[in-house]
Amino acid sequence: MQYQVLSVGIASLPLSNYSWDGMNDVKKQECEPKENSCSKPFIYTRHEHQISSHLIDPDALKILYRLQRFGFKAYLVGGSVRDLLLNKRPKDFDIATNATPRQVKELFRNSRIIGRRFKLVHVVFRGQKTIEVSTFRDASSLNNSDQNNSEDIRPIMTDNTYGNEETDAVRRDITINALFLDPKDMSIIDYVGGINDIRDGVVRVIGNPDIRFAEDPVRLIRVIRHAARAGFIVEKKTWASIVKNTELIRRSSTVRVYEEVKKDLLSGYSLGILRLLAKSNLLPLLFPALGKHANLLLSENSPLSNMLGRIDDSKRKGIEYNNATILSNISFFLRKPDSISFNILERFQDEEVIHEHVLKCFHGLAVPRKERERIDGILTLWFLLAAGSKRFHMRKNKEERDSLYDLLFIFDSHDLSLFESRIREEAIARNKYRNERRRKRLIRNG
């Protein structure tokens, strides 16, 4: 395979600020606009970017080196390469190879094959750390790019036809996630203009966006997530296609859509993602109750925006919140959305209103029953606390209590001190009860 090597001086650029001014005089990669794929891949050598092997997970390197030692091609791919170029710590280090899943499994005893739609290998290390290894996919399963009507495109139900590096790159969703890093010489291989788009701060779908969204409508959500997380803009044609094809999301499994929304809420960038979803008109289809009031609730300095901003800041600092806490936060403000009150007694009259409200809130969003019950329990527990009800002490669910504490902490609510006081009272009463039982037992035993 013939490569074209560019000298672009990436290493000297302040990537953490996404400033690529030093590349303005560099000739753009000449890719076919229709397919976003270059006639020849561009190679960026180790001296032209700042990624070094010590930034890569050691276990990922073990897998890469072992695959290459046995004669296979193996690259670090996707979001990990993108994040390293942006001076971010990748959450996952994914690997692509020309070895089949069975061949990978034979090389790694600590692995298992998963997936039906597309088979992958999970290599498991100490502490249950998992590194995903996929075989290069073929692009022949892509729908014909000459088709103009997305209604004629069927979603891809299976994707187990294998290919090479180029077809695998073209098969990926967006250009900035289609870069390959070769551990042998630490070069970056770019088939689709991903380096240019990182430089320009652009999220662009590979190929015809109408067709790619029709193949898998969940890509509509993923494009917006990547734009919000990186602080990038969505490329003009891609954005127009998102706005045009929002109704395609109805074709996707409601459970799968909920899992994508859950990722957004837990990403540390939930506020930016929700605002982009609202701007694209996707939010009313994903989360109807929030979409209906998005202009008010997600506006600058609104109570919900401020609370989501606090959660995002905490998440990015490594503080974890569960999804029920975040959804309870949203659900709280969806009750009387024009109110700025943080007093739960002003939003809910009784427990029955809370039950009905939670059911209404998540109509159209496939929140699992257990999750809805937990949200209901968190808000009910808060209501009982604020109302001074003795039944607060009867609700002993630890997950609900922990989530309520997190929620009150986020809100910086005066109810937080009340919550802590009630918990101390419980502990004192519990110790008093135990001491009394111990005293009676000692008397009985002489």
- Closest to 382 in 3D by CA, of 374, 373, 392: 392
pLDDT at 295: 95
For 362, the domain range is 294-433
The pLDDT tens digits of the residues spanning 75-105 come to 999 999 999 999 999 989 999 999 999 999 9
pLDDT at 146: 46
429-to-338, 403, 433 alpha-carbon distances in Å? 41, 23, 6
The pLDDT tens digits of the residues spanning 311-354 come to 999 999 999 999 999 999 999 999 999 999 999 999 999 999 99
Rg (CA), the chain: 26
Percent of the chain with pLDDT over 90: 70
Q: Does 209 fall in a domain? A: no
Q: Which of 200, 229, 261 is the last residue of a domain?
A: 200
| CATH code, domain carrying 61 | 3.30.460.10
Token pair for 171: 């098969």
Q: Which of 171, 200, 229 is the last residue of a domain?
A: 200
Q: Does 145 fall in a domain? A: yes
pLDDT at 240: 98
Token pair for 95: 């690997």
* Catalytic residue of the set 92, 138, 159, 402: 92
Report the distance separating Cα 327 and Cα 304, nearest Å.
11
In b/e form, how buried is each residue of 372-383, taking b as 16+ CB within 10 angstroms? Answer: bbbbbbbbbbbb
94 is catalytic: yes
Cα dihedral across residues 293, 298, 300, 301: positive or negative: positive
Res. 355: pLDDT tops 90: yes
pLDDT at 395: 82
Residues 34, 168 share a domain: yes
Residues 300, 173 share a domain: no
* Catalytic residue of the set 94, 216, 264, 406: 94
Residues 13, 153 share a domain: yes
Res. 210: pLDDT tops 90: yes
Q: Does 165 fall in a domain? A: yes
Which residues partner with 44 through β-bridges? Answer: 188
Least confident piece of the model among 24-28, 141-145, 420-424:
24-28
Report the distance separating Cα 373 and Cα 395, nearest Å.
13
DSSP codes joined into one string, 287-343:
SHHHHHTHHHHTSTT-HHHHHHHHHHHHHHTT----HHHHHHHHHHHHSSTT-----
92 is catalytic: yes
The pLDDT tens digits of the residues spanning 370-400 come to 999 999 999 999 999 999 888 888 787 889 9
The torsion angle over the Cα atoms of residues 383, 385, 388 and 391, rounded to 10 degrees, is 90
Residues 13, 141 share a domain: yes
pLDDT at 40: 83
Q: Does 207 fall in a domain? A: no
Q: Which of 200, 224, 258 is the last residue of a domain?
A: 200
- Whether residue 81 contacts residue 51, with contact meaning beta carbons closer than 8 Å, is answered with yes
Residues 314, 176 share a domain: no
Res. 209: pLDDT tops 70: yes
Count how many domains the chain has.
2
Residues 327, 179 share a domain: no
Q: Does 21 fall in a domain? A: yes
Give the pLDDT mean for 130-149: 72
Residues 421, 300 share a domain: yes
The residue ranking higher by pLDDT, 27 or 413, is 413
Residues 183, 302 share a domain: no
Q: Does 228 fall in a domain? A: no
Q: Does 47 fall in a domain? A: yes
* Catalytic residue of the set 83, 168, 173, 406: 173
Residues 312, 184 share a domain: no
Residues 154, 20 share a domain: yes
Pairing verdict, β 130-135 and 42-44? unpaired
Which residues partner with 74 through β-bridges? Answer: 97
Res. 446: pLDDT tops 70: no
The residue ranking higher by pLDDT, 434 or 380, is 380
Q: Helices 398-411 and 415-444 sit at what angle, rounded to 10 degrees?
A: 150
pLDDT at 244: 97
pLDDT at 413: 78
Res. 438: pLDDT tops 80: no
Model confidence at 416, pLDDT cuts 50, 70, 90, reads: confident
